[in-house]
């Protein structure tokens, strides 16, 4: 049994009331994926859904995947394996180290193999999976981060979670999505679901040139090749939607539309997992003010990037944004421990 029999609990869509948003006349609401499940949290449930369904269809006994010693993906995958009763194997970047995440992986029953750094870089080689398939023929490989088209199609369901709650905010529509990007899979899923109706803006947790752009394009091209779309959606808008609250939204994922309408910006602050005093102070202040937990790798950086865009005047008065909280809170335990012992 790979997937839960009960439906996924809805993530609440909550208004954001920061002073800098109000001063700029920008309305924002946050979709709290961090609240959907205590362990298979954030965007991970959505990313894993179709991968696990594929494993079940293939008659696999479990899955094998990759990640680092703080990996949210491996953490959610191991937790799912323990809960639903399937085997999990993790191929881990670097050399053996004890982190809160690694301790959880072991407690959840995930078998770990440490690849070193050169070994982990080889994950993109064409023959990387050959020895692992031979060693674990009963396991289905899942891409790093739960990526690929299966991960993106699962994330496409996030759009309906938000749209179904717009009435609670007295919104009839919105202008764009704003979210953190690690591999770009979640962004690609939103782009597929939106099919050009609303822009999707990704704040990259890694610098430009580290593969996010290519991953997104590969997923969208894979979608296009499977469904052979023939049309294209227009993304042009003459105004914001604050005064256009009459039309209901269509949450389908049309195969006749070429997915488009996204842009990426560098929110990495110098590199993946790089932090600085300004970022940590921003996270602490905004977390305390809103009561929303933030972490410094993904969601915290994405919110700071939004703040910078808003106060610079690059987001128009009257704009309505949906900010996606993608979870990842388990990973911040290492940062908190490091700060305590400085």
Q: What DSSP string describes 48-67?
A: HHHHHHHHHHTT-SEEEEEE
* Domains of the chain with CATH codes: 13-39+150-340 (3.40.50.1100), 44-147 (3.40.50.1100)
Task: Return d(Cα 171, Cα 165) in angstroms, integer.
Answer: 9
Cα angle at 184 between 202 and 153, to 5 degrees? Answer: 115
The pLDDT assigned to 331 comes to 78
| pLDDT tens profile 66-82 | 999 999 999 999 999 99
pLDDT > 90? residue 245: no
The pLDDT assigned to 277 comes to 95
Q: What mean pLDDT is reported for the chain? A: 87
| pLDDT tens profile 288-321 | 999 999 999 999 999 999 999 999 999 999 999 9
Enter the pTM of the model.
0.88
Q: Binning pLDDT at 50, 70 and 90, where does residue 333 land?
A: confident
Instruction: Give me the helices (H) in 197-270, please.
Output: 212-227
| pLDDT tens profile 119-151 | 999 999 999 999 999 999 999 999 999 999 999
């Amino acid at each position: 049994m790979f997937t839960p029999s009960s439906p996924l609990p809805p993530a609440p869509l909550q208004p954001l009331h920061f002073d800098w948003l109000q001063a700029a006349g920008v309305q924002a609401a946050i979709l709290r994926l961090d609240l959907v499940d205590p362990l298979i949290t954030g965007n991970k449930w959505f990313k894993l859904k179709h991968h696990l369904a594929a494993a079940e269809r293939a008659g696999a006994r479990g899955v094998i995947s990759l990640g680092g010693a703080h990996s949210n993906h491996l953490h959610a995958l191991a937790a799912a394996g323990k809960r639903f009763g399937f085997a999990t194997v993790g191929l881990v970047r670097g050399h053996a180290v004890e982190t809160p995440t690694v301790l959880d992986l072991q407690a959840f029953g995930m078998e770990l193999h440490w690849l070193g750094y050169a070994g982990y870089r080889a994950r993109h080689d064409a023959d990387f999976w050959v020895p692992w398939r031979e060693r674990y023929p009963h396991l289905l490989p899942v891409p790093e981060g739960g990526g690929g088209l299966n991960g993106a199609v699962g994330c496409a369901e996030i759009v309906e979670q938000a749209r179904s709650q717009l009435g609670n905010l007295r919104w009839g529509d919105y202008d764009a999505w704003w979210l953190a990007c690690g591999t770009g899979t979640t962004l690609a899923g939103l782009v597929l679901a939106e099919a050009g109706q609303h822009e999707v803006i990704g704040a990259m947790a890694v610098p430009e040139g580290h593969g996010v752009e290519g991953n997104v394009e590969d997923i969208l091209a894979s979608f296009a090749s499977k469904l052979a779309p023939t049309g294209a959606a227009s993304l042009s808008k003459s105004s914001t939607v604050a005064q256009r609250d009459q039309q209901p939204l269509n949450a389908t994922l049309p195969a006749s539309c070429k997915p488009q309408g996204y842009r990426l910006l560098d929110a990495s602050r110098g590199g993946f997992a790089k932090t600085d005093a300004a970022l940590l102070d921003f996270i602490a202040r905004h977390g305390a003010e809103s009561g929303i937990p933030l972490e410094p790798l993904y969601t915290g950086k994405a919110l700071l990037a939004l703040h910078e865009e808003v106060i610079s005047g690059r987001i128009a008065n009257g704009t309505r944004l949906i900010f996606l909280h993608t979870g990842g809170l388990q990973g911040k335990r290492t940062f908190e421990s490091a700060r305590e012992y400085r």
